[in-house]
Chain A
């Protein structure tokens, strides 16, 4: 149980392109999903918290107009990197928390490797 699917797993695109990444909870409902960014050999840095039916909460220093988040249903959140540039290249990982107690563990997707040329 508690499977999170992330798509695509890898994206290579030109500078200026917008890229959409999907995060789905396959066998549970997730009122809250999280988007992380991970640089090589570093830990996960929380970018934003995606709340179903409401606006996402962004961490300090994360541009909300650059990283658009939509959480339209209890099983799907999307992250759109708008007008991506080489410095946006990174490993992006989503996680989802089952609806219920706030301390429920987060379950992660397999990540999306984004490379901007």
Chain B
């Protein structure tokens, strides 16, 4: 099925550093979601975005709905070891189905 492109695929960072990742689509979306998945578990919703240009925070996480409506960004500030995991974006154009990104695997070095 169709997938969204996420970048980077993986990243190793030092504890305390900020992290940025993005998600791009060839289609226009009207909702973007960001999830985090820990090994052996289901994804957990982090942030939901519903308007182009919207900037929403959840603790140290901030996500933005791109103005072109074809991309979204997630930033994590002052990373900590428990931020390790796989981050997925998901988008929908208004149908009931969400398309998921390829994932960004984050590893934090203490």
Chain A interface residues (CB < 8 Å from chain B)? 2, 4, 6, 32, 34, 41-46, 49, 59-60, 91, 93, 95, 97, 102-103, 105-111, 113
Contact = CB atoms under 8 A, between A and B. Distances in A.
Main secondary structure on A side of the interface with B: strand
Please provide the 3 A-B residue pairs with the shortest distance between their CB atoms, ordered closest to farther. Answer: A108-B42, A103-B31, A110-B42
Contacts of B102: 43
Contacts of B48: 105
11 contacts: A4-B42, A34-B97, A44-B43, A44-B100, A95-B42, A102-B95, A103-B92, A106-B45, A107-B45, A108-B44, A110-B42
Nearest to B41: A110
A55 to B, nearest CB: 15
Nearest to A2: B45
A47 to B, nearest CB: 10
Contact of A32 (B88, B96, B103): B96
Interface of B: 1, 3, 30-31, 33, 35, 40-45, 48, 50, 88, 90, 92, 94-98, 100-103, 105
Given A46-B100, A59-B1, A60-B1, 17 more contacts: A4-B42, A43-B88, A43-B101, A43-B102, A45-B1, A97-B96, A103-B31, A103-B50, A105-B33, A107-B45, A108-B35, A108-B42, A108-B43, A110-B41, A111-B40, A111-B42, A113-B40
Nearest to A62: B1
Given A43-B101, A44-B100, A103-B31, A111 B94 contact: no
A59 B33 CA distance: 21
Contacts of B97: 34, 46, 49
Contacts of B50: 103
Contacts of A91: 40
A43 B42 contact: no
Given A43-B3, A44-B88, A105-B33, A93 B96 contact: no
A103 B30 contact: yes
Contacts of A103: 30-31, 50, 92, 94
A34 B1 CA distance: 15
